[in-house]
Amino acid sequence: MQVMSEEKIIVIKEGSVTTPKGFSAGGMHCGIKRKRLDLGYIYSDVPATAAGVYTTNLFQAAPLMVTQKSIQVEKKIQAILVNSGNANACTGDQGIQDAYTMQSEFAKTLGIKEHYVAVTSTGVIGVQLPIEKISNGVQQILQPENSGAHLFEQAILTTDTGVKNIAVQLEIDGQLISIGGAAKGSGMIHPNMATMLGFVTTDVNIDYEDLWNALKQVTNQTFNMITVDGDTSTNDMVLVMANGQANNEKLTSDHPGWGLFLDGLQVVCESLAKQIARDGEGATKLVEIQVKGAPTTEAARAVGKAIISSNLVKTAIYGTDPNWGRIVCAIGYSGVTLDPNLVSVAIGPYQVVEKGLPAPMSEEEVKQYLEQENIHIFVDLNAGDQQATAWGCDLSYDYVRINASYRT
């Protein structure tokens, strides 16, 4: 089943990272976790142009260092190997060695160059990687019973409550272009990357520089606009692989189809970002903050991030408390220079602040609105024409319970 959007972008029901031509994926249990799948892969039939964005945390995990160096060799990769249950972060020289072992052994299994394999890990920080379990898993992971995008999506999860995926299709140069995505992320999520991994595949024909610019632009509008708890992790990464199997004319920023491709990439990344935000540890609601009337895009983003990052706002939403004072408080400390007497705020369809002053409202109606699963907060700074959207979730008792026992 396919659903056509107004932008000529087709969202594929049950689409995945294997929807684009020439990609396969799979996952298995290799023993890092007690029972659940913990080792997954994506493979392209041919080397693919690759670009990535990475965590801003200075404690960057070993696999990220290895992957960044590998991509720089030819700006191409052909496979990604991911383990969950262990972050391989703060593990010193042994961690670097283990990341290279993951890379070399999977490359040997596939019969490809070592630097064509990207590696990444997610899980507990500061524990040495059980590399022998991963090595044993690599020997078995290509077996038919371990094949399938659904297995990859499960193998990359940690505290997530479910898999996160999407695929879209669009037409460029008369050729059908597919873009697929999968992600993991539930806690330690904050703008400027999070404890999240995002994987995007596409069969479009594109060079590295244009692909990297597209990814960076879209990431700033999607993955960098979500938060769960204000923590930025050590292992966060979004990788995109473009293998050219759609046989379109090489896509560049000057191509007439460039805007459509960017829109398709935006749909994929925004969907994954929102799925991560909704799956925040213990979350019961997805919260969307729309900011308009800002002097710059950066200002709009800063205000949106401040609101969605506020624990007081998040707990009020969980408790269905229409305490708009917490929202204007977050706007005020966002770092954006603004006139409080111009700011207006609405919670869903209900205006709660008008030009810096309380607006007449029914507390009972707003409270009833906050009982919904999807909450929208609208802010108008009345100071310009720029806008931005941020996503996050409420903060519940379960967040404390889950994170208090994360390692047990």
| CATH number (domain holding residue 183) | 3.60.70.12
According to the model, what pLDDT value does residue 279 have? 76
Whether residue 359 lies inside any domain: the answer is yes
According to the model, what pLDDT value does residue 3 have? 40
pLDDT mean by block of 10 residues, the chain; 408 residues: 57 96 98 96 98 80 94 97 94 96 98 98 92 97 98 93 95 96 70 68 97 94 74 75 96 96 96 85 84 97 92 92 95 94 97 96 96 96 96 76 56
Q: Are residues 272 and 364 in the same domain?
A: no
Q: Are residues 321 and 247 in the same domain?
A: no
According to the model, what pLDDT value does residue 353 have? 97
According to the model, what pLDDT value does residue 166 have? 98
- Total number of domains in the chain: 2
Last residue of a domain, one of 223, 245, 276: 276
Whether residue 50 lies inside any domain: the answer is yes
Pairing mode, if any, of strands 286-294 and 374-380?
Answer: parallel
Q: Are residues 150 and 293 in the same domain?
A: no
Whether residue 118 lies inside any domain: the answer is yes
Last residue of a domain, one of 252, 276, 300: 276
Q: Are residues 244 and 346 in the same domain?
A: no
**Boundaries of domain holding 143:** 2-276
Whether residue 362 lies inside any domain: the answer is yes
Q: Are residues 370 and 320 in the same domain?
A: yes
Q: Are residues 240 and 193 in the same domain?
A: yes
Whether residue 290 lies inside any domain: the answer is yes
Q: Are residues 255 and 338 in the same domain?
A: no
According to the model, what pLDDT value does residue 225 have? 86
CA 328 to chain centre: 28
Would you name the residues annotated as active-site residues? Answer: 195
Whether residue 281 lies inside any domain: the answer is no
State how far the Cα of 274 lies from the Cα of 286, in Å rounded to an integer: 8
Rounded to the nearest 5 degrees, what angle is found at the Cα of 157, between the Cα atoms of 155 and 158? 130
According to the model, what pLDDT value does residue 2 have? 41
Q: Are residues 155 and 292 in the same domain?
A: no
According to the model, what pLDDT value does residue 226 have? 81
Amino acid at site 213: N
Whether residue 134 lies inside any domain: the answer is yes
Q: Are residues 241 and 386 in the same domain?
A: no
Whether residue 260 lies inside any domain: the answer is yes
Q: Are residues 325 and 190 in the same domain?
A: no
Q: Are residues 310 and 381 in the same domain?
A: yes
Last residue of a domain, one of 276, 308, 329: 276
Q: Are residues 127 and 155 in the same domain?
A: yes
- Residue 332 maps to which CATH number? 3.10.20.340
